[in-house]
């Protein structure tokens, strides 16, 4: 089990409760934040203790996790310098944090129950938590997110989608849209051609 998989699994559980959440993974502690609650929970490996991560994700504020899977802070307010149009404060915080080098933001909307993964200030993936059987696809979703799973194009197929928020993307798995994925499609088609 890897960090991406565990975070997605936790967010799928939070989505079933009808709640929203924000989990930030940072290679270095370059995300500016202020604690909203006293930090009494000691650092822990989120892959080994997903139930605790889920509990902390349900609190107001974000959970910050290091790139090696150690919880750094929870219940924190991310300093937002940017607004993500057509989305709320949680998405704006995710957007601002993701603009930092080496930061990935996982934001779960309680309104539409979609998980959006942001890197470099862009949505790179959207997961519809209401899609039937999505829980069984977490490993595959994680591989696609890491860029390793692009080989699944040949077996699953790809469809071009335009979402309601005006972004175009490619779907590899029902309920999962990869934005900027045209790069991976072209790369894979070129590899098959050689």
**What pTM, to 2 d.p., does this model score?**
0.81
Determine the average pLDDT of the residues in 57-65.
96
- Would you kindly state where each structural domain of the chain is located, as residue ranges? 3-138
Phi, psi of 157 (to 5 degrees): 90, 165
Determine the average pLDDT of the residues in 149-167.
34
Higher pLDDT, 106 or 179: 106
6, pLDDT greater than 90: yes
* CB atoms inside a 10 Å sphere around CB 171: 18
| Strand-pair partners of 70 | 45
Q: Which CATH architecture has domain 3-138?
A: 3-Layer(aba) Sandwich (3.40)
């Amino acid at each position: 089990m890897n960090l991406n998989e565990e975070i997605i699994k936790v967010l799928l559980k939070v989505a079933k409760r009808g709640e929203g959440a924000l989990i930030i993974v940072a290679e270095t502690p370059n995300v500016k934040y202020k604690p909203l609650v006293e930090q009494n929970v000691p650092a822990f490996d989120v892959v080994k203790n997903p139930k605790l991560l889920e509990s902390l994700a349900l609190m107001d504020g974000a959970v910050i996790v290091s790139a090696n899977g150690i919880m750094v802070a929870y219940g924190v307010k991310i300093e937002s310098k940017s607004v993500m149009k057509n989305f709320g404060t949680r998405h704006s915080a995710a957007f601002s944090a993701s603009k930092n080098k080496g930061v990935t933001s996982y934001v779960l909307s309680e309104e539409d129950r979609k998980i959006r993964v942001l890197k470099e200030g862009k949505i790179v993936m959207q997961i519809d938590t209401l899609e039937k059987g999505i829980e069984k696809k977490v490993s595959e979703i994680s591989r696609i997110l890491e860029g390793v799973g692009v080989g699944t194009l040949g077996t699953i197929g790809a469809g071009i989608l335009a979402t309601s928020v005006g972004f175009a993307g490619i779907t590899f798995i029902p309920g999962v849209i990869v934005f900027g994925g045209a790069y991976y499609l072209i790369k894979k088609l070129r590899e098959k051609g050689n």
